[in-house]
Amino acid sequence: MPSAGELTFAAPRRGKPPRHLADLTSAQRRDVVAGLGERPFRADQLSVHYFSHLADDPQQMTDVPQAARELLATSLLPVLLTPVRHLETDNGTTRKTVWRLFDGATVESVLMRYPGRITMCVSSQAGCGMNCPFCATGQAGLTRNMSAGEIVEQVVAGARWLRRGEVAGGPGRVSNVVFMGMGEPLANYAAVIGAVRRLTDPTPDGLGISQRNVTVSTVGLVTAMDKLTREGLHVTLALSLHAPDDKLRDTLVPVNTRWKVAEVLDTARRFFDATGRRVSIEYALIRDINDHAWRADLLGSELNRRGRGWVHVNPIPLNPTPGSRWTASEPGAERRFVERLRAHGIPTTVRDTRGREIDGACGQLATLTP
Ligand code: SAH
């Protein structure tokens, strides 16, 4: 155990998380198993246990000989996430979990049960380097990238609780995954794409979640957005725009100083052209900062300039974060903003702000007190 002094002052250790089955394609899993001196089909057995049965105890893997079980489990199913605590609200249908990673870094995930779907909101980095001033995660800075295994494990954990009926509302399945927890997913590209493939590959290679039900949210890293476009994945792209003009967006989403609004919107449009998937524009409504009617009009015309039917807007009432003077827009301003966009013919739906009471809503994930 490190001493208290080390805990407080030591620079974060940034070793690689242990290798996990969920980091690997099924071909790579077989290679690893063969390298351990076991028959390659044992890899497929492990995949069935992990992705189909959601097993977390190697002793349940009774079709694998006892002697091999321990070796395979240690080599491919290490514990990556340890729950630090769970916080629940909405009568138990919203559950935020703080996880400790192998190196002591902490991240959060949020499970949200709705009438027709169950969404896991996952983290892709411990912290975030994008530094958006209205987001609690952005204020803490980046600790490190997460591995594909660490990302997938958040979803598998949720899937296990649901299968066991541990979430209010009875047994269920994770139907949707949103990369809207801590981190900028496109700044951790390879691990995020690996995770998306594991989540969406059919069982037992992966979890079998529909690509359409996976949303990757980005501040607008243009190069990585184009790369995502070329992956041929039918995921939903969400773009955190928050302002239609560069002057304001430069301050709200600092990476805008590198890639401007016009370029980011053109890139989002290319994603739609290639995938046919309607892009989602996220817009946190901040009182008197970005909620003016003229900005709604400017947003509407910037979107329409690039065509019709390719985009919808998701205004998010700003969630409070520690140390910020900013608050959510007045209800009237919010209503006007939405009406103006709709008048431009832009489908617009205000996002519900689940999890506010447990600091589990958009922009509130920070893990200040692990
Ligand atoms: N880094 C990615 C993923 C985070 S998603 C991205 O920025 O898209 C979280 C979403 O919540 C983003 O749209 C983010 O801008 C938004 N958000 C951040 N802080 C918020 C806050 N305090 N209130 C409401 N939304 C916020």
Q: Are 176 and 196 in contact (CB under 8 A)?
A: no
What is the model's pLDDT at position 368?
55
What is the model's pLDDT at position 365?
86
Q: Are 142 and 125 in contact (CB under 8 A)?
A: yes
What is the model's pLDDT at position 248?
98
Ligand 1 near 359 CB (within 6 A): no
Whether the link from the prior residue into 204 is cis, omega within 30° of 0, is yes
Ligand 1 near 225 CB (within 6 A): no
What is the model's pLDDT at position 71?
95
Ligand 1 near 316 CB (within 6 A): yes
Q: Are 265 and 303 in contact (CB under 8 A)?
A: yes
Residues of the chain with pLDDT under 50: 1-11, 369-370
What is the model's pLDDT at position 362?
86
Site to probe by mutation for ligand 1, drawn from 134, 289, 364 as the one with most ligand atoms within 8 Å of Cβ, is: 134
Among residues 108, 150, 184, 282, the one annotated as catalytic is: 108
What is the model's pLDDT at position 1?
39
Catalytic annotation on 108? yes
CA of 219 to the centre of ligand 1 (A): 8
Q: What strand order describes the sheet that includes 176-179? A: 82-89, 94-100, 106-113, 118-121, 176-179, 214-218, 236-240, 279-285, 311-317
Do strands 142-145 and 176-179 pair parallel, antiparallel, or not at all (unpaired)? unpaired
Nearest CA to ligand 1 atom 3: 180
Site to probe by mutation for ligand 1, drawn from 222, 316, 325, 353 as the one with most ligand atoms within 8 Å of Cβ, is: 316
Ligand 1 near 184 CB (within 6 A): yes
What is the model's pLDDT at position 135?
93
Q: What 3-state DSSP class applies to 238?
A: strand
What is the model's pLDDT at position 14?
66
Ligand 1 near 284 CB (within 6 A): yes
CA of 340 to the centre of ligand 1 (A): 22
Q: What 3-state DSSP class applies to 364?
A: coil
CA of 7 to the centre of ligand 1 (A): 29
Say what the pTM is.
0.95
